[in-house]
Structure formats: C-alpha cells, structure tokens
Structure 1
Amino acid sequence: MADPEFVAPRRAGILDVAARAGVSRQTVTRAMNDMPGINAATKQRVLEAARELHYRPSRFGRGLVTKVAPTLGLIVVDLTNSFWAELASRVLDAATRRGWTVLIAESAHGGVAAASSLVGQVDAVFGHVELDDSHIEEVFGSMPLVLFDRSPESQSRATIILDFGSAIQAAIEHLLVRGRQHIAMLDWSLSSRRSWRAEQFAAEMTSRGRDPRVLLTHTDADPDLDAARGAAEEALHLWPDTDAIVCFNDVVAIGVIKQLTESGVDVPDQIAVVGMDGLALGLVVTPELTTLQLDFQAVADLAVDLVIQIAEGQAPVRGPEVHRSVTPELTVRRST
C-alpha cells in the first residue's frame, strides 16, 4: 500500500526541455526524433537539456512522429528455464494486446551488457535485474523500468513483488495436517544468503516451534534437475528422518521427485514434495506436483500496465505507489 504522505516527484515534460533549451515545443520534437529542419547546434542544445532533466518522450508523442509501436524490453535469466519461458510468453501476450512490441534479453548470456543493450532500443523495461539500486540508476537512467521479484526499499524503482508468505504458511499447515513432522526446505540463491522464500519458510517453522531445516545451494546459475537431485541426496544425508521437502521452485521439486523415486523412496507415502511457481511441468511429472501456484498472466498484465503508466507519465518511476504484490496460492496434487 502506498505511503499516504508520499508525493512522487514530477517528471520533466517537453515544455520543461523547451524552456531549458530556449526553443519551441516543436523544435524539441524535431530534435528528439532526429527529424529534418533543425540545425546541429540547436539539436545538441535540446538533447543536452533533455539529458540534464532526465526527459524521455512519451510513447504517444514518439508513435505519432515515427509511426511505430512502442517497444518493451523484457529481461529474463534464461529462456531454457521453464519459469522464464512461461513468464516471457505471458508478457508477450499482455504487451501485444496493448499495442506494444517486445524485445527480450537474457541476463545469463550477457549480464549487465544485456540489460544495457536494451536501453537504446526500447521505450521501457520489465524484468529480473541483478544489480543494486545505484547501478540500476547508472544503467537505466530515466528509462521507465519495472523490476521483478525483488524486495524494494521505500524509494526504489517500480517493482512486482512475489509474496510467498501466506502460501508458504498454507503449505506447512497442509503438511502438518497430513502428519508430516520433519519438514526440510531446499533453497537456491545466486548469493551467499538465503532467498526470501527460505526466510519466510524458516520464520513460519520457528513460529510453530519446529526446527527450520534449510539447505542452501549457492550457485551462479538457475537450478536444474541434476543439481536438484544432488541437493536432495545431501538433505537426506543431513536429516535422514525427513518426511517432507519444500523446494525453492518446481524445477527443484521435479529433480527431488526423480531422485527419490530412483532411490526407492515412495512419493508421497514416505516423503512429500512441494514446489513453488506452478509451472505446467508439474502436471506431467509422476506424481503430479503440489505447488505454490503463481498466476503468470496476472503478473504479466500487472507489470505491463504498470510500465505503460510510468512511460505515459501517469505513475512515478519509484516509490511505494509503484510497488505491487502478487500472492501465489497452494495447489494440492498427488505429491503430498
């Protein structure tokens, strides 16, 4: 919920640039869109004024001049990962329905360079950006930007937050009701710290007087099936009495089910398994995966609407007003 005392700073408009450069509104339009009928010195003065004011033309103004649809830059980690492929598909759908085209970059294949390359080619950006706030400002400047799955500070950029808290509570309650006493979590993180999902799991287990068993795999890549199988083996070595495993995501959960099955452990009779994200893959594994279901279409629609509002000047670029949450829900299937 937005802070009632928060007042978003006004974004500079075309008239501000015109006043700074000492030219007309029409001259600013010509300079910003590289049109003829303006001399080089005047054009340079306008561009410098725009840069100083962090001004970007509205998508409507640019569209009227260039006759092209505005473009959304989408940053995902890796399209070979089912999570990012599913999200990308839904964002493409949401953007197309709103008259935008989409250009995709993978951070796994380019890092900061991949994000930077988008800035000069698109009108706005949505996606997963592994940079701190200061570096985000350096890379994106005044570009309309919505971050994904990030814990925002009060004045940080617009963000879509995945709030797994209530769904994790529901999953733990579901496992306890079904008689599970020794629940572990397999966590995954690109840093040396636990993920926010694992922190919520540990807090909920502690609040119930239970041992918060969390095994963190620290890696520079998204989890795959082989890595998940190794993590399952390690967890059972650490805690042989484990009778339920909550996983960082569905890919990890599917790897765990594969490892348990091949080791002769019955799922769910001996060990129950819960995933997170709600990928379609969870329906083709045996047994079908209980998961914390994320509504990918809702995420995509929320993100695209928000980034368009920012691009059109109808919402600020940062602050509580542009921090939005999506809450997954527990979907019970045969793996528990």
Structure 2
Amino acid sequence: MTDTRAPRNANIFDVARLAGVSHQTVSRVINNHPSVKPATRERVQEAIRQLRYRPSQAARALVTKRSRTIGLITPATADFGPTTLAISVNDAARDARYAVVSVNLPDVQAASVRNAIEAMLRQNVEAIVVIANDVAVAEFARGTDATTPVVVVAAGAEPQPLSLSIDQYAGARLATRHLLGLGYETVAHIAGPARNPDASERVRGWMAELRTADAPPGLRLDGDWSPRSGHAAGMRLTVTPGSTAVFAANDQMALGLVAALSSRDLRVPEDVSVVGFDDIPEAEFMSPPLTTLRQDFARLGAQTMERVLATLESPTPLEPAEPLATKLIIRDSTRPRRG
C-alpha cells in the first residue's frame, strides 16, 4: 500500500541532527552570526539544502492558511503558579478564538521540551508557549528558532520580545523590605527548588534587599514548594520570640511553616512574622491571614496571548516585554518586632 501522506516540513531540529550541531548553531548560521566556524557553517548550509528547510520568516511568509491553534507546553505539576498561569493562557486564547494543544511534561528537561516542540510543529500550530519551571529549559526554549514563534514564560532573563514574566526579584525585595521595615534585624528565607527560575529570582531579591539595608545575612532553608517542606523548615528554624521574621518563597511553604511553629508553641505573628508569595485563595483564610505577594496570573496569560498575536501579525520586530509587577498584600501574619 502506497503512503499518500504529504511529507512534513523539516524543522530546525532536523537540520541540527543532520549537521551534527546544536539548534542554536543552526540559528546562528541562519542569522549570519560571525562566531560560526566556516566548516561548521558549510555543513549546516548543506543540511538546510538537503532538507529544503525554510527559516522562520520565510516559512511564515509562505503560509496561506491559519490554523488558529497554539501549542502550550507546561510542567505536569499541581503547583499554584504554573497551573494558574496555564488556565490564564487558555482563557486568553479562547477569548482570541484560538484553540490550544497542550502538553504536560512530567520530566521537564531540555530534551523532552525539544521533542514536544517538534511534535507541535507537525500539528501546524501558529505559535508555541512554554511555561518553564527549570532554568535550563527556559534557556533552551529561548534559544529555539523554530518555524513558528516560541514564547517563553519564565523569570530571570533580560527583557526579550518573546520572553514574558512576573518580576519575582522585585517581589522578593518588597517582601524582605516589608519585614525589615517592621524593625527586624534580618529575615530568614525558605527557598523553592534551586533550578526553578522563580525560586532563584526570589532568593536573589531577598539577598539583594538585605545587602541594601546593611542587614546581617539571613538564614536560608531550602524547600520544594510543598507545605511539608515548609513544615520541615519550620521545625529547624532557630527562633528568638518577637525578633524573628521569615519570608517563605510561596504560600504553601508558609502554611507548613506556620503549622510547625504552632506545634512548637510559637505564635504567628507574636513570636514570628511570616510573609508568603503567590496570594493563593486560601491565604486570606489561614490562621492568621497571610501577608503575601500577589501575582497577576490573569494579566500574564493575557499578555502572553497578546504577544503571540503581535508576533504573528507585526511586520517589524517587537520591543522587549517588561516583567509585570507584584503587589504586597498585608494581612495579620506580620507585626512590628517586639522591643
């Protein structure tokens, strides 16, 4: 039986495999970057000729029919941030009359993201959105020059046209500044996973604000976003009642922290002031209600779709997108230092 299916168009990863180089090197050759060795450049150009590969702009110029579909690659996690953001992107796409093809990756590594991008390219999506919860994945996705735009949602990079985020660094500084402003000598921090872009930026902001205030270095305890890890940190935390302040990198770890302190007969905020991050729906109903940083995931989802549409429709390169600001929500889990 003869296979009558039309062959799929080659993509940048096919060229990279045939030439024996990275997709970033292929991108540099396409864009005439001077750093590529002549022999490597020739090998890549030969692979492009063999595969009849069309780089992004040329391929989009030849498109005659819009699919009105975008791809969405997300980590397979129940964590509040990525889950809420994915819902927001879906809502914004629906409002723009776009369908969404979603892939949830339990193993969010560069290789699995590459495979997901390749699969989506074969489905004729107009753009791909990657919600990255790993620093290496974010860097890989930002370096992708596929036949469709790839928009990356992750903290930590310099503003770029196809990279969007909420300003985790400034939010962490705001949380730390709030506690220092209440008279605490320093602020301890319960950090999220080390390879997570949001967690890394929150650590960086916490440290920067302590340095700016000439405050002593604060104790860092590592967690994994879960209440259990916050509870474990709370059991290890050295507390001077009335003089201890903690900035937890998310509300779930703050919840575990408060429970651990309670089991040690320590009160929040009388003995320990606590600030979280995210403003999850449960935050205002905790005991006590949690002071936290609110992230506007609905706005980020809408901005992501706006950037997708602008990339598809604009004849000129877009300006870099500035990170969205967070908002400090002050509730009852913080109070001035005693004495």
Common fold: TM-score over 0.5: yes
Inter-partner Cα distance in structure 2 for 1:92 and 1:227: 31
**Paired amino acid for 2:130:** G
**Paired amino acid for 1:231:** A
Alignment of 1:46-65 (within 5 A): 48-52=51-55, 55-57=58-60, 61-63=64-66
Pair 1:86 & 2:81 matched: no
Alignment of 1:213-228 (within 5 A): 213-217=218-222, 222-228=224-230
Q: 2:325 aligns with which of 312, 315, 327?
A: 327
The Cα of 1:275 is off from its aligned counterpart by 1.0
Q: Is the 8 A contact 1:58 1:312 kept in 2?
A: no
Q: Which residue is 1:146 aligned to?
A: 151
Inter-partner Cα distance in structure 2 for 1:104 and 1:192: 21
Q: Is the 8 A contact 1:282 1:289 kept in 2?
A: yes
Q: Is the 8 A contact 2:113 2:137 kept in 1?
A: no
Q: 1:158 aligns with which of 159, 162, 173?
A: 162
Inter-partner Cα distance in structure 2 for 1:150 and 1:324: 11
Query: Structure 2: which 5+ runs fail to align?
Result: 1-47, 335-339
Q: Which residue is 1:175 aligned to?
A: 179
The structure-2 alpha-carbon separation of the partners of 1:303 and 1:258, relative to structure 1 and needing over 3 Å to count, comes to same
What is the TM-score normalised by the length of structure 2?
0.70
Q: Deviations over 1:85-144 (max 9, x none)?
A: 211221111111011112222333454425532433332122333336774377662431
Q: Deviations over 1:30-63 (max 9, x none)?
A: xxxxxxxxxxxxxxx9995453566443798423
Inter-partner Cα distance in structure 1 for 2:189 and 2:217: 8
The structure-2 alpha-carbon separation of the partners of 1:148 and 1:110, relative to structure 1 and needing over 3 Å to count, comes to closer
The structure-2 alpha-carbon separation of the partners of 1:188 and 1:133, relative to structure 1 and needing over 3 Å to count, comes to closer
Inter-partner Cα distance in structure 1 for 2:186 and 2:178: 13
The Cα of 1:327 is off from its aligned counterpart by 0.8
Q: Which residue is 1:203 aligned to?
A: 208
**Paired amino acid for 1:270:** D
Q: Deviations over 1:194-225 (max 9, x none)?
A: 7121111111111111113141527xxx5211
**Paired amino acid for 1:332:** I
Q: 3-state DSSP class of the match of 1:327?
A: coil
Q: Is the 8 A contact 1:152 1:323 kept in 2?
A: no
Q: 1:95 aligns with which of 77, 93, 96?
A: 93
Inter-partner Cα distance in structure 2 for 1:137 and 1:173: 32
**Paired amino acid for 2:112:** A
Inter-partner Cα distance in structure 2 for 1:210 and 1:138: 38
**Paired amino acid for 1:116:** N
Q: 1:73 aligns with which of 53, 71, 74?
A: 71
Query: Structure 1: which 5+ runs fail to align?
Result: 1-44
Inter-partner Cα distance in structure 2 for 1:169 and 1:247: 12
Q: Which residue is 2:35 aligned to?
A: none
Aligned residues: 278
The Cα of 1:315 is off from its aligned counterpart by 5.5
Inter-partner Cα distance in structure 2 for 1:60 and 1:143: 11
Q: Is the 8 A contact 1:116 1:140 kept in 2?
A: no
The Cα of 1:261 is off from its aligned counterpart by 2.0
What is the TM-score normalised by the length of structure 1?
0.71
Q: Which residue is 1:19 aligned to?
A: none
Inter-partner Cα distance in structure 2 for 1:295 and 1:137: 23
Inter-partner Cα distance in structure 2 for 1:151 and 1:274: 22
Structure of higher RCO (CA pairs closer than 8 Å, 6+ residues apart): 1
**Paired amino acid for 1:298:** R
The structure-2 alpha-carbon separation of the partners of 1:57 and 1:212, relative to structure 1 and needing over 3 Å to count, comes to same
Q: Which residue is 2:308 aligned to?
A: 307
**Paired amino acid for 1:207:** T
Q: Which residue is 1:249 aligned to?
A: 250
Q: 1:232 aligns with which of 212, 231, 234?
A: 234
The structure-2 alpha-carbon separation of the partners of 1:191 and 1:92, relative to structure 1 and needing over 3 Å to count, comes to closer
Indicate the RMSD between aligned Cα atoms, in angstroms.
3.3
